[in-house]
Structure 1
Amino acid sequence: MIKTWCVGLGMALAGIQNATAQSVFTVVPLGVKGGVDESNLSAYLVAPAGSAEYVCLDAGTVYNGVVRAVARKALPGPAAETIRTRIKGYLVSHAHLDHVAGLLLGAPDDAPKPIYGLPECLATLQNDYFNWRAWPNFGPAGNPPALGKYQLRELTPGPEQALTNTAMSVRTFRLSHGRPFQSAAFLVRSGSSYLLYLGDTGADTVEQTDNLRQLWQVVAPLVQARQLKAIFIETSYANAQPAKQLFGHLTPVLLLQELAVLGQLAGGPGALQGLPIVITHRKPSNESAIQQELRQANTLGVRLVFPEQGRRLRF
């Protein structure tokens, strides 16, 4: 009996080791919610597995998220030093406060590094935040004196661009976040593997665009080839939320409809089986309903992941 137990334990440990060895990306969620709790807003550190050189996907909460991650041993401390040295840049999907507040508040103690985003996003950061009225000018231009701590690097949808001081690159796509406001999706590459992060987005049917379909057409071959390791996508409201009050966000039914489109483009039934779908930007008042509705309606066989602040994920 003891021998059997030891063999079983050995097999289990081997499975854990193999899963770790096969991981391509390490993700540390610094914030996972979609409002109300300012200590836990959208921000995700991502790095190639085995690397400590992260980029931060959105930056709603930074310092408090790193503190939680240090407490959970997902990051080394102290928190301030980790932010300065291990975060090599910020990929900002759009300039709403719940996606940039942590970056702004932490700027005085941060180290020089790039902020990547669409031109209109960077213009908002420079003109509306880094202007000595809302906040000191840590940007490279605008109202003097320009302190120049951050380099604002425009992302052009289409071509892949390298992420400075990391082994990763990114391709950017436009999203509709309550017309006419726009957000962005980031397809991050490490080697031959990819991770897809979407900022806030509405469904094509509600937004009356084809932005998501265009994105799915690009990533469908990566799904087929098993090169896409995870999709991070928002679900802000439960299904009861009226369409006119979505404000450019998704519900469980709308998310699954969009993923079904991706599945069709990637080969039909079963194409998304086991693909990790990380549910971001959950409104706290809707969270339990969102989880229940997604689990009950998940006929696509995707692996639903509900991230927790400070708890490391591997893909």
Structure 2
Amino acid sequence: MHGKFLSLLTLLLVLSVSTSAQKKARSFNIVPLGVKGGIDESNLSAYMVGAAGSNNYLCMDAGTLHYGIEKAVSKHTFNVPAETVLRQYIKGYFISHAHLDHVSGLIINSPEDSTKSIYGLASCLETIKTHYFTWDSWANFADEGEKPALKKYSYKPMEPGKPVSVEGTGLNVQVFPLSHSNLTGAAYLVKNNDAYLLYLGDTGPDEVEKSTKLRELWQAVAPLITKGQLKAVMIEVSYPNEQPDKSLFGHLTPKWLMKEMQVLQSFTGEGKLKGFNLVITHIKPPQKNINKLKQQLKQQNTLGLNLIFPQQGKRLQF
């Protein structure tokens, strides 16, 4: 009996050490405020990204803010009022492109928000400046554009190859251009110490877009995967495979995503993507299409990727 007790105690200690090591290894917290594309205005692309153990976050896109924060509070992801999360926890916005489903939450919540910066490619910020934060369409809460400028937000144009640090977060962010039909979108590579997270805004496959932007991105991040430093990729898949290529409008299907993952594997080496975290974003309603898309992804996942379907308000940790 004494030997059995010692064995049980040893097992519990091993499990405790293992669990502690896993927790210690976590580098990022992600809180999805909106996970869909399409017509559901209460659940559009927006993801809070922070260093593990911190309440200081970046917001990757801002399609839905207030409803998503309320959802996170209701799920006890946050134990503070929603206005605290909006005003104090979010330290800056990284907008992939200026389509409404990626910026509407930012615009609508601006009167209640606190002073912070909006980051993005110059073309994206120019659209926000000239189409949204104007006195005809809303009010100019930014530091440039139509007068009077209320100066709550400051525009921070980003350039590929020039990482930026966001004060108070400990995070460093680098931008990569993407091809999204007629627009140049953006992907953001977030760095926390020696760990990385990659967030992609809307993008079409290189073959359809007649582009090499995804290939260049995969080539850039492949060494981080082989070293175990890239913890996850967040990437859109908008339509099931039945969507014709001519009607993709700069989006991915399960078939095209897996073709792009094959390109990524050509840079990482065979087998390196097995178990790798792939967070699927921007799935468009209706629900029957969402169900079909998820089934197709699972069926075509020959690389053994760890497919993750985020839920609004529920924390992810990597």
TM range (shorter): over 0.9
**TM-score for the superposition, normalised by structure 1:** 0.96
Equivalent in the alignment of 1:272 = 273
Equivalent in the alignment of 2:218 = 216
Q: Secondary structure at the match of 1:279?
A: strand
C-alpha displacement of 1:175: 0.4
Equivalent in the alignment of 1:282 = 283
Equivalent in the alignment of 1:259 = 261
Query: Where in structure 2 are the equivalents of 1:6-21 lying within 5 Å?
Result: 14-21=17-24
User: In the alignment, is the contact (CA less than 8 A) between 1:25 and 1:46 conserved in 2?
Assistant: yes
Q: Residue 170 of structure 1 is aligned with which of 146, 170, 173? A: 173
Residues 1:67 and 2:70 are matched in the alignment: yes
**TM-score for the superposition, normalised by structure 2:** 0.95
**More displaced, 91-100 or 162-171?**
162-171
Counterpart of 1:128 in structure 2: which amino acid?
Answer: H
C-alpha displacement of 1:9: 6.5
Equivalent in the alignment of 2:31 = 28
Equivalent in the alignment of 2:191 = 189
Sequence identity, in percent?
49
Unpaired runs of at least 5, structure 2: none
Change (3 A) 1:312 1:142: same
Residues 1:102 and 2:105 are matched in the alignment: yes
Q: Secondary structure at the match of 2:196?
A: strand
Deviation per residue, 1:288-309 (Å, 9 max, x gap):
1111011111111110000000
Counterpart of 1:236 in structure 2: which amino acid?
Answer: S
Deviation per residue, 1:107-147 (Å, 9 max, x gap):
00000000000001101111100111111100112211100
How many equivalent pairs are there?
A: 313
C-alpha displacement of 1:76: 2.6
C-alpha displacement of 1:7: 7.0
Equivalent in the alignment of 2:121 = 118
Equivalent in the alignment of 2:229 = 227
Matches of 1:103 and 1:214, distance apart in 2: 30
Equivalent in the alignment of 1:45 = 48
Q: Secondary structure at the match of 1:162?
A: strand
Matches of 1:36 and 1:119, distance apart in 2: 27
Matches of 2:10 and 2:21, distance apart in 1: 16
User: In the alignment, is the contact (CA less than 8 A) between 1:20 and 1:314 conserved in 2?
Assistant: no
**More displaced, 54-63 or 8-17?**
8-17
C-alpha displacement of 1:19: 2.1
Matches of 2:75 and 2:14, distance apart in 1: 26
Equivalent in the alignment of 1:309 = 312
RMSD: 1.6
Matches of 1:113 and 1:291, distance apart in 2: 36
Matches of 2:264 and 2:113, distance apart in 1: 39
Deviation per residue, 1:266-294 (Å, 9 max, x gap):
12x20111110000000122211111011
C-alpha displacement of 1:89: 0.3
C-alpha displacement of 1:18: 2.8
Deviation per residue, 1:248-277 (Å, 9 max, x gap):
00000100110111111012x201111100
C-alpha displacement of 1:13: 5.3
Matches of 2:30 and 2:278, distance apart in 1: 13
Q: Secondary structure at the match of 1:80?
A: helix
Matches of 1:206 and 1:11, distance apart in 2: 50
Matches of 2:8 and 2:116, distance apart in 1: 51
Equivalent in the alignment of 1:147 = 150
Q: Secondary structure at the match of 1:230?
A: strand
Residues 1:237 and 2:239 are matched in the alignment: yes
Matches of 2:195 and 2:64, distance apart in 1: 27
Residues 1:55 and 2:63 are matched in the alignment: no
Counterpart of 1:224 in structure 2: which amino acid?
Answer: T
C-alpha displacement of 1:10: 6.2
Counterpart of 1:249 in structure 2: which amino acid?
Answer: H
Matches of 1:67 and 1:9, distance apart in 2: 38
Counterpart of 2:172 in structure 1: which amino acid?
Answer: S
Unpaired runs of at least 5, structure 1: none
